[in-house]
Amino acid sequence: MTGTSPLIFHHYDFSNFAEKIRLIFGLKQLEWLSVETPMYLPKPDLTALTGGYRKVPVLQIGADVYCDTAMIAAELERRFPDPSIFPGFTAGLAQAITYWAEKSLLWPTARFATGVIADDLPAKFHADRAAMWGVPMNRERYRSAAARHRLQMLAQVAKVESMLKHSGKRFLLGDEICLADFSVYHPLWFVGQCATELTKEFAPFVKLQGWMERVHSVGHGKRMESSAAIANAIAATSRPTTPLGVDLSGNEEGFSTGERVVVTPMDYGQDKVEGQLHRLTQTTISIRLTGQSSGTKNVVSFPFEGYRLKRMAL
Ligand SMILES: N[C@@H](CCC(=O)N[C@@H](CS)C(=O)NCC(=O)O)C(=O)O
C-alpha cells in the first residue's frame, strides 16, 4: 500500500493491456485493489472517475487517476523504483519495443484471436467496438479477417523468437525482465485467453515458449477484490497529490495551469476529457476535472505522447 491510499486498479480480466500492469504489480510485489469494469460501454463508474476516458486499465491512487499503461507504468516506477522495469541500459530500448509491440504485433494478434471466437463474444461487444473504431464490425467481418491476420501475427512472432534465439538470454533485453517483456507478452497472452487451443500457433517457436512461462511466473502481486463504490468513496475523501505546474520547454502555445483544456487519445476511443490544466511536462499531461458534482476533483494524468492537448474555446 502507498501510505494511506491503496493502489486501485480498474480493469477486467480479459484485458491484455491490464495484464501488462498486473505483471508489473507482480514484479514489484505490490498489493492492489481490483475493481472490475465492463468490457464495453456504458461504464459509468469508470468514466465518472476519469472524466470520460473509457479505456482499460486505469490506476487510481486516492484522487489521482492515471490513464494508459504508459502513464501507469511510469507512475508505478516512480513510486516503487525497486525492482525496476528498466534494469541496466533498457529504458529507451524497452519503450521502442513497447511501441512496436502495441502498434504492430498487437493488432493482427488481437484480430486473429477475436476472429476465431467471434461467435462467442456478445453482440453488444461487437457493436461497441464498431462504434469505437468507427468502422462496420460484425461477427462475419471478424471471422473472415482471422485467417489473414493469423499470417501477419506469425510473421511478427517470428521476430520475437529471433530476438530470444540470438541473444541467448532469459528475457528480451538480457537476463533480467524489463518493460519490453511485459509489452510483447501481453498481446501473445491474449491469444490463450481467447481460446487455450490457439496457443498451438506458438508451438514452432521453441524459445518463445520458455520465455512466456518465465514472464507468466512473475505473477500479479497481491490482488484483493474491491468495488467501484469503495473506489469512489476513497476518491471523494482524498486530495490529489500530483504537483501543479507547467514545465515544458518549447511550450509555444503558452499553456498555463488553471486554463480550461481538453485531452483526447489520438488513436482510437477518442473520448474527450475536459478540465483545468494542472501539470504539463514532456512526459505527462494532468488535468483537474471540473465536471464532478461534489467531493474532491480528481486529477487525471495521461502520457504526453499519443494524447492531444487543446485549449477549450471560451
Ligand atoms: N493505449 C492504451 C490502450 C488501452 C486499450 O486499448 N485497452 C483496451 C482493453 S485491452 C480497451 O480499453 N478497449 C476498449 C474497452 O475495453 O472499452 C493503454 O496503453 O492503456
**Does residue 54's CB lie within 6 angstroms of at least one atom of ligand 1?**
yes
126-135 long-range contacts, Cβ below 8 Å, gap at least 24?
127/40, 128/39, 128/40, 128/41, 129/40, 131/41, 132/268, 132/269, 133/268
58-61 long-range contacts, Cβ below 8 Å, gap at least 24?
58/9, 58/10, 58/11, 59/7, 59/8, 59/9, 59/10, 59/21, 60/7, 60/8, 60/9, 60/10, 60/231, 60/234, 60/235, 61/2, 61/5, 61/6, 61/7, 61/8, 61/241
Distance CA 49, CA 64 (A): 10
* 123 CA distance to ligand 1 middle (Å): 19
Residue nearest to atom 13 of ligand 1 (CA): 55
Does residue 267 contact residue 306 with C-beta atoms inside 8 Å? Answer: yes
Ligand 1 atom with the shortest distance to the CA of 269: 14
3-state SS class at 284: strand
**Does residue 190's CB lie within 6 angstroms of at least one atom of ligand 1?**
no
* 273 CA distance to ligand 1 middle (Å): 16
Q: What pLDDT, on a 0 to 100 scale, did the predictor assign at position 294?
A: 54
Ligand 1 atom with the shortest distance to the CA of 54: 17
* 121 CA distance to ligand 1 middle (Å): 17
* 57 CA distance to ligand 1 middle (Å): 7
Contacts for 274 with CB less than 8 Å, ≥ 6 apart: 51, 52, 260, 261, 262, 287, 289, 290, 291, 312
Beta-bridge mates of residue 102: none
* 106 CA distance to ligand 1 middle (Å): 12
Element of type H or E holding 302: strand 299-303
Q: What pLDDT, on a 0 to 100 scale, did the predictor assign at position 273?
A: 96
* 150 CA distance to ligand 1 middle (Å): 21
Q: Which three cell numbers stand for residue 202?
A: 506458438
For 105, counting Cβ atoms within 10 Å of its Cβ (0-12 exposed, 13-18 middle, 19+ buried), the class is buried
Does residue 118 contact residue 143 with C-beta atoms inside 8 Å? Answer: yes
Ligand 1 atom with the shortest distance to the CA of 265: 1
Ligand 1 atom with the shortest distance to the CA of 15: 10
pLDDT tens-place values along the chain, 314 residues long: 345 799 999 999 999 999 999 999 999 999 999 999 999 999 999 999 999 999 999 999 999 999 999 999 999 999 999 999 999 999 999 999 999 999 999 999 999 999 999 999 999 999 999 999 888 878 888 888 899 999 999 999 999 999 999 999 999 999 999 999 999 999 999 999 999 999 999 999 999 999 999 999 999 999 999 999 999 999 999 999 999 999 999 999 999 999 999 999 999 999 999 999 999 999 999 999 987 655 568 999 999 999 999 999 87
Q: What pLDDT, on a 0 to 100 scale, did the predictor assign at position 2?
A: 46
Does residue 46 contact residue 281 with C-beta atoms inside 8 Å? Answer: no
**Does residue 56's CB lie within 6 angstroms of at least one atom of ligand 1?**
yes
Q: What pLDDT, on a 0 to 100 scale, did the predictor assign at position 187?
A: 98
**Does residue 68's CB lie within 6 angstroms of at least one atom of ligand 1?**
yes
Element of type H or E holding 114: helix 106-116
Concatenated DSSP letters of 201-238: GGTT-HHHHHHHHHHHTT---EEEE--HHHHHHHHHT-
| CA torsion, ordered 92, 96, 99, 102, to nearest 10 deg | -100
Q: What pLDDT, on a 0 to 100 scale, did the predictor assign at position 129?
A: 92
Q: Which three cell numbers stand for residue 146?
A: 482471422
Ligand 1 atom with the shortest distance to the CA of 37: 16
Q: What pLDDT, on a 0 to 100 scale, did the predictor assign at position 1?
A: 39
Q: What pLDDT, on a 0 to 100 scale, did the predictor assign at position 292?
A: 62
* DSSP 8-state secondary structure symbol assigned to residue 104: I
Distance CA 7, CA 26 (A): 13
**Does residue 55's CB lie within 6 angstroms of at least one atom of ligand 1?**
yes
